Amino acid sequence: QQSTAIVTGASSGVGLYAAKALADRGWHVVMACRNLPKTEKVAKEVGMAAGNYSIMKLDLASLGSVHNFVNEFRASGKTLDSLVCNAAVYLPLLKEPKRSEDGYELSMATNHLGHFLLCNLMLQDLKKSSHPRLVILGTVTANPKELGGKIPFPAPPDLGNLEGFEQGFKAPVTMANGKKFKPGKAYKDSKLCNVLTMRELHRRYGDSTNIVFSSLYPGCVAETELFRNHYSAFRTIFPWFQKNITKGYVTETVAGDRVAAVAADRGYEQSGYYWSWGNRQQEGRKSFVQEMSNEALDDVKARRLWELSEKLVGLA
Ligand code: NDP
């Protein structure tokens, strides 16, 4: 029987190429996206075989949309084998915070809260699979134990004591630590929440289910649309810098294949790991288990983040 994966944000960049790589492995991929015509167009452009994918509406910035998506997936009658939480927004130039449909700051709402609800709802679907996996994309800039995570501007990731979550995260609250709005940091904070969520999923369900929970950093895919909201000069210089100076640059094809590997291949069955291929890319480079940041390894924070996120998405 054909295995099924859900990939969020499969209409662009890493998610699109992860969907393609999974389809090329013979999987059926549910491309969970907010823009259906765009997704249909790009799926064709990259040459995904018609029977190997379907497209379903998911807007992660709307908790109602997450519920609707889960219902639509269940109505399809498919068994879920791999859930890939990939979608994200990065809005570094915002002067004022944008808000999700539910009133939460948009980066945290999309990247963390929408996925948090999705993961929680879909655990029961994953439990029906014989080889279930749940993968959440992390990033290097949210991990101060790596060079790319030491960049001090606009600020390193730091959730504080989750004051913003404690206060309900709606206006005027904009940041996890309850402090002043810094849009670039909001992205890093949300990606840190992604890794904390993966670890807490593993702690809660790693033993009692056969689900493999993983995160990964796929490399610096400096030309995806993730940087669409950055200065145009940045969009020119950043890929050049990553190709020639840091040597961290990877293509969307390589990054997508890495995500597909963690979601589907042998060798990634150990739950609770954060995979990386390093920061300096070399031909044929093998993956390894990357050490997470001290904050990402903070069990007390992971638990508290879970409890507060449950309240914000209406699960508690
Ligand atoms: P892209 O901007 O190319 O893709 C982001 C995807 O997320 C798009 O499909 C986008 O949809 C979707 N998306 C955004 N908002 C929503 C929403 N509200 N609901 C549903 N889908 C949404 O970025 P990348 O491919 O670069 O990023 C993918 C992942 O990889 C992210 O998790 C990112 O943090 C991670 N990553 C990226 C790195 C890089 O160098 N690019 C490095 C490390 C990690 P739409 O097409 O409609 O805009």
Among 53, 187, 249, 274, the active-site one is: 187
Nearest-CA residue for atom 11 of ligand 1? 9
User: CB 246: neighbour CB atoms within 10 A?
Assistant: 15
Distance 208 CA to ligand 1 centre (A): 31
Q: How far is CA 99 from CA 109, 175, 314, in A?
A: 8, 12, 17
Nearest-CA residue for atom 36 of ligand 1? 139
Euclidean distance between CA atoms 186 and 257, whole angstroms? 27
Characterize the bridge pairing of strands 273-276 and 212-217: parallel
Distance 134 CA to ligand 1 centre (A): 17
pLDDT on residue 235: 87
Euclidean distance between CA atoms 87 and 35, whole angstroms? 12
pLDDT tens sequence for the chain (316 residues)? 899 999 999 999 999 999 999 999 999 999 999 999 999 999 999 999 999 999 999 999 999 999 999 999 999 999 999 999 999 999 999 999 999 999 999 999 999 999 999 999 999 999 999 999 999 999 888 788 877 777 777 788 999 999 999 999 999 999 999 999 999 999 999 999 999 999 999 999 999 999 999 999 999 888 888 888 898 888 888 888 888 888 888 899 999 999 999 999 999 999 999 999 988 777 778 999 999 999 999 999 999 999 999 999 999 9
C-beta 194 within 6 A of ligand 1: no
Q: How far is CA 1 from CA 55, 70, 87, in A?
A: 20, 22, 27
Q: Is 205 considered catalytic here?
A: no
- As a residue count, the chain comes to 316
Contact predicate 219/247, CB 8 Å: no
Which ipTM did the prediction report?
Answer: 0.99
pLDDT on residue 242: 85
Distance 237 CA to ligand 1 centre (A): 20
Q: At what angle do helices 115-126 and 183-205 cross, to 10 degrees?
A: 20
pTM score:
0.96
Euclidean distance between CA atoms 234 and 236, whole angstroms? 5
Write out the two tokens for 313: 């998405």
State whether the Cα torsion 12-13-18-20 is positive or negative: positive
Cis peptide before 97 (omega within 30 of 0): no
Atom of ligand 1 nearest to the CA of 38: 46
Q: Which amino acid is at 79?
A: T
The vertex-35 CA angle with 30 and 38, nearest 5°, equals 90
What DSSP line would sit under 146-171, residue for residue?
Answer: SGGG---SS-----TT-HHHHTTSBT
Write out the two tokens for 136: 């959440």
Characterize the bridge pairing of strands 273-276 and 288-289: antiparallel
* Residue owning tokens 């499969």: 10
